[in-house]
Amino acid sequence: MRRYLAGKVFQALLTLAFVLAFNFFLFRVMPGDPVALLLRGTSALTAETVRDLRRDLGLDQPLPQQFLTYSADTLTGNYGRSLTTGAKVTEEIGSRIWPTVLLVGASTIASAFLGLLIGIHGGWRRGSRFDLGSMGFSLVAYSMPEFWFGILVLLALAGGVGFFPAIFPTGGYQTPGADLTGFAHVVDVLNHMALPWLTLTVAYLGEYALIMRSSILDVMGEDFVTTARAKGLREQQVLWRHTVPNALLPTITLTFLSLGFVFAGAITIEYVFSWPGLGLLTVTAIDEKDFPLLQALFLLFSAAVIVFNLIADLLYAYLDPRVRAG
């Protein structure tokens, strides 16, 4: 087990080191000059002033020296300052991370719970009306683009279409200028979060349902399920005591992997609903060519995928001894 854990941790660190290097060189080959972006709108600057600024930013150093400086700053949490606002990159990200965690966490819990229930009952009643209907719905939910579905939800429930009334706000995190506190503030935030939460939940629900259904069908053919039925156990006991616990293993990996990818995937949803999280911050940084902020966000999203993947591998090995033995 120790060898397995050490191997997985080493692979995660190696992948993170590659992402760190890729992150550095990617933004060095992109078009645009950070100095020119900092000085946009400024006139009558001498060449000496521009040269001094490049030296302050470390851009006059050789590329290997820049990489060493970048690596050291990254490990110490120094990501520089935003080219747009002038604030520290850590402060910019810190002010936006909570809305993304709230939205992604709530939608992941809901989509995993509902998707697993749909997959369990659909797989157990294979060929039934519920199975056929739920599988069709899951395939549609899994295949449709998130931003497209988000726009439809926004038009229907925020703009009002036909018999759909305009129930929820069109976007944002809270009502501007309301200055609500306490329980009223919580209700206001939840009211604004309802539509992006619904969009993300439906978008990822189909994935969980399809994986769980397939896993249930695989486990139903195992010998221990046949033995449980031969003992005279009721179908509900066979399902919840023997089939579901063994079928849950693949979905555990999927859940943690999805957490990492949903952080990056929330970019389109936050943009559609103007949700002030990391996704909307990424779009703003791209529009403004804010390279330090983009570097930090790219590294954060990549690290989230790597860390959650590592957690999934370790948890899977703990729950399934066959993984450790292999």
Residue 39, in any domain of the structure: no
User: How many Cα atoms within 13 Å fall on the side-chain side of residue 231?
Assistant: 12
Q: Alpha-carbon distance 319 to 291, whole Å? A: 42
Please give the full DSSP string across 244-300, using - where no structure is assigned. HHHHHHHHHHHHHHHHHHHHHHHHHHHHHHT-TTHHHHHHHHHHHT-HHHHHHHHHH
Residue 203, in any domain of the structure: yes
pLDDT at 25: 82
Residue 173: partners with Cβ closer than 8 Å, 6 or more residues away: 99, 189, 192, 193, 275, 276
- The neighbouring-strand residues paired with 164 are 161
DSSP one-letter code for 63: H
For residue 140, which of 118, 120, 123, 157 has the smallest C-alpha distance?
Answer: 118
Residue 216, in any domain of the structure: yes
**Predicted confidence pLDDT, tens digits, the chain (326 residues):** 778 788 888 988 999 989 888 888 877 776 666 666 666 656 556 667 667 767 766 667 777 888 888 888 888 888 888 877 878 889 999 888 889 888 988 888 899 899 999 999 999 998 899 999 999 999 999 898 888 998 888 888 887 666 666 788 888 888 887 778 888 888 989 999 999 999 999 988 988 999 999 999 998 888 888 898 888 888 888 889 888 888 887 777 777 777 776 666 578 888 889 899 888 898 888 888 788 888 888 888 888 888 888 888 887 777 766 665 55
Please give the residue range of the domain that contains residue 304.
Answer: 85-325
Residue 130, in any domain of the structure: yes
CATH of the domain at 196: 1.10.3720.10
Residue 257, in any domain of the structure: yes
The pair of three-digit structure tokens given for residue 301, joined into one six-digit string? 């999203």
pTM summary value? 0.81
Residue 275, in any domain of the structure: yes
pLDDT at 43: 58
- Is the four-CA dihedral 238, 240, 246, 250 of positive or negative sign? positive
Residue 68, in any domain of the structure: no
Residue 300, in any domain of the structure: yes
Q: How many domains does the chain have?
A: 1
Calculate the dihedral angle through the C-alpha atoms of 275, 277, 279, 280, rounding to the nearest 10 degrees.
Answer: 60
